[in-house]
Amino acid sequence: MTFWQVTLKLLEGFGMTCSIFALTLVLALPLGLLISFGSMSKFKPLKLVVKVFVWIIRGVPLMLQLFIVYFLPAKLFDGEVFTRFTATIIAFAINYACYFSEIFRAGIEAVPRGQIEAGQVLGMTKFQIFTRITLMQVIKRIVPPMGNEIITLVKDTALARVISVIEIIKVAEQMMSYAIIWPLFYTAVFYLIFVGALTLLFGYFEKKMSYYKV
């Protein structure tokens, strides 16, 4: 196979990689925020359940979670319940939502209580306090750790191949049947470009938000 043929094949797999990445973010970010509210709830049973759930998800390897989401329902219901791609998105979204929830929780709890009380004195609702006082300070605090997790997500998409999702690494592995191994190493270029772009993007966000003193 020529260099350009390999490149085009890898680009097809990279499209799947980007799809997994994008859908995981779209689902995991709001779900993570919701889970963080549960972990900070004053209703102790809910708080306990959420914390145990987060502990389990963070403690079990993502690869194993992929196997559980795809194969367990199929065994229980005697047939495929989720497609391989759907199972991948479910497992990734839940896993990353739990990691994001801890980042959100730390960011929210780091906002000085006095600022929230000041908003209450001014007659602001809880929603107004969160959106106008808390949110921007939380974003300022969470951009660096959130950036690290999102960059990790780019590389973790390669795990989808364990349930035969045809992402870029899987495509490169299939090319080994042609007795060529260099495409496997060539995939690093795609990851480096993707991660490099994200690094610049998060650096830009940090600079733009530097006027929020924390």
What's CA 6's distance to the chain center, in Å? 29
Cα distances (angstroms) measured from residue 25 to each of 60, 89, 131, 154, 213: 20, 10, 21, 10, 27
Query: What are the phi and psi torsion angles at 165 (to 5°)?
Result: -80, 130
Q: What is the pLDDT of residue 136?
A: 75
User: Is pLDDT of 135 > 90?
Assistant: no
Query: Mean pLDDT for the chain?
Result: 91
| Both structure tokens of 119 | 């908003």
Cα distances (angstroms) measured from residue 1 to each of 112, 117, 175: 60, 66, 9
Least-confidence region, from 43-47, 68-72, 190-194, 204-208? 204-208
Q: Say what the pTM is.
A: 0.90
Q: What is the pLDDT of residue 117?
A: 77
